[in-house]
Structure 1
Amino acid sequence: MVAPLPPLSLLDLATVGRDRPVAEALEETVTLARTADDLGAFERLWFAEHHNMPRIASAATSVLIAHVAARTERIRVGSGGVMLPNHSPLVIAEQFGTLAELHPDRIDLGLGRAPGTDGATMRALRTDPRAAEAFPQDVRELQGYLTGETQIEGIHAYPGRGTNVPLYILGSSLFGAQLAAAYGLPYAFASHFAPDALEQAVRVYRERFTPSEQLEQPHVIAAVNVIAADDSAAAQAAQEKVLHARVRMLAGRVGSGRIDDDMVVALLDTQVGAQAKHMLTHTVAGDRDEVAAGLAGFATLADADELILTNPAPGLEQRVRTLEIVAEAAGRTA
């Protein structure tokens, strides 16, 4: 018998299909958000900030959150996350304070300290390479703007002050785990692409957690890739396509020109292929029963209070069906 699943949430990058327009990706993101909202099986939907990546349309994260929140009714919408070194804490407090006023008790603010891009793009963002060093102080400053207990005398976030938008620390290493524990904030681990430190980071977070006004007990969110279909064979075929897409993405970062399908197959047995497979370590693929068992097993492995799922299956139809099957697997269909 499969153990009951913890709360489930979603992480979306507004992925742009090959040779497809950005507008189509954004339309599909809204369709998926509405599907998740209607199913009632998911707690929250987060978007991630990445820059200078042609296949990701969530760079203007707060704009996309506003768009999706206005087109859904129940599901919480937020960032997974905003890369705080790219921004001033005051500006983020104003943006998310505005979102919180527009959509009360539905907005989350997940924070990361990585730039979400490469060095050249960091310079284009006007980001100081040393900005990440100030991440702990910037989190406190941002928190002060949102609670009204400002860290800088006479400076307040309007909107933002008193909205108490909940903060989450994102990470893939011990640094984020230690910071989240020290500040008494929920911790989300990026195990959907960085699996190595998952168990150690969660253990450190739980051992060192200090209660805060926002959170009395530790809360771990672990990320996992999910590919669901009506039968195992279809799910495995989709999983292979996801792996090929990841290989193509990694190869595209170091090479130039178009990478065709034959090149992707040849790369599977190279270091690029090994890296792609490793990034997808925590992937659950299968039919409803296999997905239920796989998610339950991952939740136990990660010692997670909540799972946040990526939905990388190729094509909108398959991604919608994945959401439906996950809801069925969790026994939470509306």
Structure 2
Amino acid sequence: MLPNHRPIVVAEEFAVLTALHGERFDLGLGRSLGFTQPVREALGTLQARPREFAAAIEEVREYLTGAGNITIRPADTGRIPLFVLGTVTGLQIAAELGLPAVVGGPLLTSGPEAFDAYRSEFRPSSQQAEPYLIVSAEIFVAESPSEARALAVPEAWAMAQSRLTGSFPPLLPTTSLPAQRTSRQDRYVAQALATVIAGTEDQVVSEISELLKRTGADEIMSTASTFDVAALYASDARLARAVATL
């Protein structure tokens, strides 16, 4: 989340990681001020204007490529790919700077206009000759649709609670979640589940195919999280086998 960090610090941190562990890191840059109001207050970040965000991305890129007015250390760390984590504004900035973009959340339920604009307005850069879009989604695969959907509930409940209390709680097993919920809690849980892809292998492949068609994405990133780690591993294994047919 670039508004919370100085560009030179971000560049040097990733340069050090790359020097230590090789060219295995992608650097995603987002514009969020912080997850909750207490976090934003603690960080002291008050605003993140689009133009300032774009300028900060360019500053990071200049440091990493040796074009900045200061030489970071280590200086020769190879190529560190930059990605813009974005909403509609993020896609616009990614197109302007010639960078790949990663999108998710509510934007995935909208029409194709923002994605089409990213591709049509893309300006090639030294890193990226053509537009490249990654769609991030929570994907769960299980024996039945109900089992898959249940895996998504702990994260959705934690997201709902964070919006109500300002604190993101630890994930809980589904059986430990309260049976009685307020209308606001139900609404926030439903919003968190709205973009989740959950079901059997055939159902998930069908939904992923539709998402690829609707967004024109070049890549799908699964960001699933749940309380039961073993169930998550099993879901990911099912997903890997399922998408091998695409």
TM-score (norm 1): 0.64
Confirm or deny: 8 A CA contact 1:113 1:135 kept in the other structure. Answer: yes
Q: Check if 1:314 corresponds to 2:192.
A: no
Within the alignment, does 1:178 sit opposite 2:178 as a pair? no
Matched with 1:163 is: 78
Please tell me whether the aligned partners of residues 284 and 294 of structure 1 are also in contact (alpha carbons under 8 angstroms). Answer: yes
Name stretches of at least 5 consecutive residues in structure 1 with no aligned partner. 1-82, 255-259
When the two structures are aligned, how many residues end up with a matched partner? 237
Q: 2:214 aligns with which of 281, 298, 301?
A: 301
Could you tell me which residue of structure 1 aligns to residue 142 of structure 2? 229
Alpha-carbon contact 2:138-2:196 (below 8 Å) kept: yes
1:64 — aligned with what?
A: none
Residue 144 of structure 1 pairs with residue 65 of structure 2: no
SS at match of 1:307: strand
Give, in whole Å, the separation in 2 of the partners of 1:251 and 1:126.
21
Task: Describe the SS at the equivalent of 1:169.
Answer: strand
Pair 1:266-2:184 in alignment: no
Q: Identity of paired residues, percent?
A: 29
Per the alignment, residue 31 of structure 2 pairs with 113
Deviations 1:153-191 (A, max 9, x none): xx111024553311000112x211111001110011122
Paired amino acid for 1:296:
S
* 1:227/1:285 contact within 8 Å kept: yes
Once the two structures are superposed, what CA deviation does each residue of 1:100-133 show, in whole Å capped at 9, x if it has no partner?
1122221100000111234443342243x24545
Name the counterpart of 1:19.
none
* Aligned-pair CA distance for 1:140: 0.8
Q: Does 1:203 align with 2:116?
A: yes
Partner residue of 2:5? Answer: 87
* Alignment check: 8 A CA contact 1:148 1:162 kept: no
Bigger strand share:
1
Question: Residue 102 of structure 1 aligns with which residue?
Answer: 20
Q: State the AA in 1 paired with 2:8.
A: L
**For 1:221 and 1:291, how far apart are their aligned partners in 2?**
18
Alpha-carbon separation, structure 1, partners of 2:40 and 2:122: 32
SS of the aligned residue for 2:181 comes to helix
- 2: CA distance between counterparts of 1:185 and 1:164? 14
Cα deviation code 1:27-68 (max 9, x no counterpart): xxxxxxxxxxxxxxxxxxxxxxxxxxxxxxxxxxxxxxxxxx
d(CA) in 2 for partners of 1:236, 1:117:
25
Amino acid at match of 1:149: A
Cα 1:164–1:238, aligned 2, differ >3 Å: closer, same or farther?
A: closer
Q: 1:86 to 1:242 in 2, by over 3 A?
A: closer
- Deviations for 1:212-259, whole angstroms, at most 9, x for unmatched residues? 1101111011111111113334223334555444434433339xxxxx
CA distance in 2 between partners of 1:110 and 1:198 (Å): 24
How do 1:271-286 residues align onto structure 2 when only pairs under 5 Å count? Answer: 271-286=184-199
Calculate the TM-score normalised by the size of structure 2: 0.85
Query: For 2:58, what is the secondary structure of its paired residue?
Result: helix
More helix by share: 2
Separation (CA, whole Å) in 2 of partners of 1:327 and 1:280: 22
Cα deviation, residue 276, structure 1: 2.7
Comparing 194-203 and 156-165, the one that deviates more: 194-203
Q: Matches of 1:238 and 1:93 in 2, distance apart?
A: 37
Partners of 1:311 and 1:322 within 8 A in 2 = no
